[in-house]
A and B are shown apart, each in its own frame.
Chain A
Amino acid sequence: MQRLFIVSAIVAGLFGAGWVLSAGRPLPAAAVAGLSGDPAAGEAVFHAAGCASCHMAPEAEGPARRVLSGGQRFPSPFGTFVAPNISPDPDQGIGGWDLRAFASALKRGVRPDGAHYFPAFPYTTYTRMTLQDVADLKAFMDLLPPDATPSQPHEVAFPFNIRRSLFGWKLLFLDADWVLDAGTNPSLQRGRYLVEAMGHCAECHTSRNILGGIDKARWMAGAPNPAGKGRIPNITPGALDWSEADIAYYLETGFTPDFDSVGGHMAFVVENTALLAPEDRAAIAAYLKALPPLK
């Protein structure tokens, strides 16, 4: 009886310790102390990070693209994720958040209550963002129109709906190391920052392992389309033979080198890249051409 008690106590203790350890940890308050955001600079971050593409309402066009009321659905092998409201509405959106909460979400995938976000939210990319860019982004997003549409729950079944399990997932797949060695070339470094810290191209263009982690050995070499039909193309030089000028022009206008136009979800991406500075589009093109060619 006594032994049973001791075993139970140990099991309970381990479980309790695991429960405590597996909670999400926000960034330390000191990390954001003294930072202040510039909304004008934040607008460029907003476009480069592609926030509106997923968080605007389904089918939103024109000025409605800046109302981040959520509701778009993203099917995956683990279930369907529904983008939440991240407008500055204090109740339904993220208007009540301070910079520390906002930065913890982007850089650590942690919700203000300590729960882990599902990595459908590409914090595995945003974790590489500078805190100044995060502060600028927040300053810009605070000025967007608030919207009181409530966020919808994700449709994710057991066991993937256990957010605690994402603690282990993050240990395996969340790291802030760069994927490409950009050397000392400033354009290549800028391209890498745009792609690996903001644009999250790899989220769709790289295949995933059985746990949904990105396979860095197949970086940008294409993947099945999670929404069903077709494949997301390989954009390493092993398959994409467009020139740098062609890639930059495509990211500006949506025209491929043979003057077909972009379609599908990539059309949303081009709506963002069209708003970047020309040298940023050129930097993305330089980055893609510098990737290891994969077949």
Chain B
Amino acid sequence: MISVRLAAVTALALAPALVSAQDYKFQLTARQGQMAIAGIGASVLGDMAKGKIAYDAAAAEAAAHNIAAIASLNQDGLWPEGSDDMSIDGTRAQPTIWENNADFMSKWESFQTAALSLSDAAGSGVEAMQPALNTLGQACVACHKAHRAPEN
């Protein structure tokens, strides 16, 4: 019991020193991981659109379904206050996400809408898929333009 209390007191005392990327390690990993999964899906579809790989309806659908699944994940808990790039290292999430959260969430919804339409179109040939993929790209860009800091 005493050791538990001691641990709690120690933890409280150390708390300010521990305010670093570590505190949000899981959140950052999850945020960046979901973007990576969406990116891998988009790369399959994009390489088909570019003609770099042959179009394959099943593979296109699988990739688009993954993007739609990511876009449908509830984002609650992934974006705690103070996990922006001004407060911690290891993220490019700008404070505008919290300052203008309604805008951020509406951009996420556009991502979801675009991903679901892409999911519907992906299996119907490269011509049908291409405009839906471009719309998805516009949704990615809109949010990254407004809320993501530049690299390095």
Contacts and interface: CB of A to CB of B under 8 A. Distances in A.
Given A254-B138, A263-B144, A231 B152 contact: yes
B127 to A, nearest CB: 15
Interface residues of A, number: 24
Contacts of B142: 61, 267
A35 to B, nearest CB: 36
A255 interface: yes
Given A225-B150, A231-B152, A249 B141 contact: no
Contacts of B152: 230-231
Given A264-B145, A267-B145, A258 B43 contact: yes
Interface string A211-242: 00000000000000100011100000000000
B144 A267 contact: yes
A86 interface: no
Given A229-B150, A253-B134, A259 B141 contact: no
A245 B39 CA distance: 19
A255 B137 contact: yes
A259 B43 contact: yes
Contact of B141 (A231, A246, A261): A261
B40 interface: yes
Residue among B40, B52, B137, B142 having the largest count of chain A Cβ atoms under 10 Å = B137
A262 interface: yes
A260 interface: yes
A259 B150 contact: no
Contact of B46 (A225, A230, A231, A255): A255
Contact of B39 (A229, A259, A262): A259
Contacts of A255: 42, 46, 137, 140
Contacts of B140: 254-255, 261
B99 interface: no
B145 A245 contact: no
A253 B133 contact: yes
A259 B40 contact: yes
A268 interface: yes
A270 interface: yes
Nearest to A270: B141
Residue among B43, B50, B150, B152 having the largest count of chain A Cβ atoms under 10 Å = B150
Interface in B37-57: 39-40, 42-43, 46, 49-50, 52
B148 to A, nearest CB: 5
7 contacts: A230-B150, A253-B46, A253-B134, A258-B43, A259-B39, A260-B39, A264-B150
Interface of A: 59, 61, 225, 229-231, 245-246, 249, 252-255, 258-264, 267-268, 270-271
Interface of B: 39-40, 42-43, 46, 49-50, 52, 133-134, 137-138, 140-142, 144-146, 148-152
Sort A-B residue pairs by CB-CB distance and give the 3 closest, nearest first.
Answer: A263-B144, A267-B145, A261-B140
Given A230-B152, A245-B52, 4 more contacts: A225-B150, A230-B150, A255-B42, A267-B142
